[in-house]
Amino acid sequence: MTPGGDLAARIRSLVRDVPDFPRAGILFKDITPVLSDASLMAAVNHALEEIARPLRPERVVAIESRGFIIGAPLAIALHAGFAPIRKPGKLPFTTRRVEYALEYGTDAVEAHVDAVRPGERVLIVDDVLATGGTAAAAARLVRELGGTVVGFVFVIELAFLAGRIRLADAPVASILRYDH
């Protein structure tokens, strides 16, 4: 599921490619210029809201850190609660952790133990879907907390990395897809 091309073209025109970040060989898609355009951010939020509303989420869970920027206004628009998923050691209360494999090691994400209520319908949000590892770990964490993942939404999808496959158990949507 992808919204209309005009919005995707506007986003694409502002996304900045940053070579060798966060490590050599990676071409990072930086959405910071998109964030600086208020009307574009409003359009992004509206498009994500239209995608998410039929899923009826009760909680929006966003992945550190640019996911917070996308997820918080989306939660407000959907009249849903908001909860952050962060790298280890960043949350002040008791947390639950999920570790996951990377192509070059392991990483982990955490959420407060009360971030999601049992049975709650949860939408997972981030800025970019790449390999899907972090989003899949976030989904596992939500399920371990008792939530039901009703979908995933992203501003950008790097489709050539096939991250969507790791998220096959719930609908996945993005506004802008890079196929190569």
**What are the boundaries of each domain within the chain?**
5-178
Q: Rounded distance, CA 180 to CA 157, Å?
A: 11
pLDDT tens, residue order, the chain (180 aa):
556 579 999 999 999 999 999 889 989 999 999 999 999 999 999 999 999 999 999 999 999 999 999 999 999 999 999 999 999 999 999 999 999 987 677 999 999 999 999 999 999 999 999 999 999 999 999 999 999 999 999 999 999 999 999 999 999 999 999 998
132 neighbors 165 (Cβ within 8 angstroms): yes
| DSSP state for residue 166 in the 8-state scheme | G
172 neighbors 151 (Cβ within 8 angstroms): yes
pTM assigned to the model:
0.95
- E strands, the chain, where? 16-19, 27-30, 59-63, 81-85, 95-102, 105-112, 121-129, 148-158, 172-178
CATH no., domain 5-178? 3.40.50.2020
How far, in whole angstroms, is CA 24 from its chain's centroid? 24
**Which amino acids are annotated catalytic?**
66, 103
Tokens encoding 70: 């996308």
Query: Residue 105 has what pLDDT?
Result: 78
Query: Residue 2 has what pLDDT?
Result: 56
Secondary structure of residue 163 in the 3-state scheme: helix
